[in-house]
Amino acid sequence: MNAPATTPGISRHPALDGLTASLRELLGPRCSTSDSEREHHGHGESYHPTKAPDVVCYPLTTEEVSSIVKLCHQAKVPVIPFGAGTSLEGHVVALHGGVCIDLSRMNAITAVNAEDLDCTVEAGVTRKQLNEHLRDTGLFFSVDPGADATLGGMAATRASGTNAVRYGTMKDNVLALTVVLADGTILKTGGRARKSSAGYDLTRLFVGSEGTLGVITEITLRLYGIPEASSVAVCSFPDIASAVNCAIETIQCGIQVARVELLDETCMRAINRHNNLSYPETVALFLEFHGTEAAVVSQAEMVQMIAEGHGGEGWRFATSAEERNKLWQARHNMHYALLALRPGASSWGTDTCVPISQLAACITEIKEHAKDAPFPVTALGHVGDGNFHMGFLIRMDSPEEIREAERLNGLLVNRAIELGGTCTGEHGVGYGKAKFLRKEHGDAAVEVMRTLKASLDPDNIMNPGKVLPA
């Protein structure tokens, strides 16, 4: 769904020729200015138009990243980090041209400390690669945004996913970082201690900074022991409010679900069709429980009782690994299942998060606004966190549909903020959400963010135009 690349070279910086020569000298064939590589690096997976960088570099070490950034710093040319290109808010679009640093070749798993439940990886390692590597250790890495993103990209956008309700987001699971600053300085933040009160939390400052304060090159992550037992249950509800209230009561009772996902009737229809399944086509919760065998059974029993009190019915279990995987595979393939509902359409995914008590009302209200929309509107959510994605199945060749999707997205984001929520639960700001930052955080907070940015990147070369509003 990407618009065509802009004319090559349109944003050329005066110092670019000299810089490109220096980068070639440094990296040899790992520095490219080919149209196809530039175009590939000028977009993520969202509807934001492509804008290609002038040069693409493929460093192999933190020291090489530092050398690249030093050259860009001298030339005052923008630096845009790039991982797997799965961004959904235009993070990697080279708005002002410049040098794309593609970290995908820095994909070594540097250390796994099984006793300490941590590991250190280079920024280009993907989450699936890491979990594959961990397979025989009895441990796993928990953050799962669906896409097989790089861990550097996931740290940079403060990513999360379906099991954040139990295991937290990247904010909670990054212990330490190596970051290359705007002047090429190599910074180490945090450490391997599980907790620390030793000074300002630089790790959390860089997690979610989307390449605007520095380039993340290495990450130390928390790991978890694979629980003795897991089970997944699906339960149908008469409407969104009943399902959300079941989730609220579950969490209030201190029952720690590993995942609790809400899917509306359109999602369930898409899942049935795409995966040849036969769930009731009404609002559903997908729940996962982790723990000892007995704990999993007793948690599920308690939630089943709570669900019945909220009109839940048709409780179905999947306990074998195969059944569980099939079910979550269906959930993770939702994007494609939805696309199949309207052949030729693209899915415009939203990403708001509200206090859980406001979740049902917020979804219902936006669905009401969307009832005359010329395209299907879906809703699914990580109910335990109040984070939900409404999806608009639009034709990107229809300006009218794009306008309507923009209108609904604006309504949704503004409403979420008014309800005490956020414009982005897990996708990040990029440049798509920058315009909402002031409404969400207020002028003072945006000014503090600007002050921090200016203090660490006075020439504004680090991913310019992202995060902070113009």
Footprint (CB under 8 A) of its own copies, residues 401-440: 420-429, 433, 436-437, 440
Site residues for its own copies, window 293-352 (CB under 8 A)?
293-295, 297-299, 302
Q: Closer CB to its own copies, residue 114 or residue 373?
A: 114
Residue 389 Cβ vs its own copies, minimum distance, rounded to whole Å: 13
Residue 154 Cβ vs its own copies, minimum distance, rounded to whole Å: 10
> Is 187 an interacting residue with respect to its own copies (CB under 8 A)?
yes
Q: Closer CB to its own copies, residue 108 or residue 297?
A: 297
Residue 368 Cβ vs its own copies, minimum distance, rounded to whole Å: 22
Cβ–Cβ under 8 Å, residues 182 and 459: yes
> Is 261 an interacting residue with respect to its own copies (CB under 8 A)?
no
Residue 144 Cβ vs its own copies, minimum distance, rounded to whole Å: 14
Q: Closer CB to its own copies, residue 277 or residue 445?
A: 445
Site residues for its own copies, window 346-385 (CB under 8 A)?
353-357, 384-385
> Is 287 an interacting residue with respect to its own copies (CB under 8 A)?
no
Residue 185 Cβ vs its own copies, minimum distance, rounded to whole Å: 5
> Is 268 an interacting residue with respect to its own copies (CB under 8 A)?
no
Among 3, 21, 305, 445, binds its own copies (CB under 8 A): 445
Mark the segment that binds its own copies (CB under 8 A) among 26-34, 42-50, 99-107, 167-175: 167-175
> Is 278 an interacting residue with respect to its own copies (CB under 8 A)?
no
Site residues for its own copies, window 192-211 (CB under 8 A)?
192-202, 204-205, 207-209
Site residues for its own copies, window 210-229 (CB under 8 A)?
213, 224-228
> Is 153 an interacting residue with respect to its own copies (CB under 8 A)?
no
Residue 65 Cβ vs its own copies, minimum distance, rounded to whole Å: 14
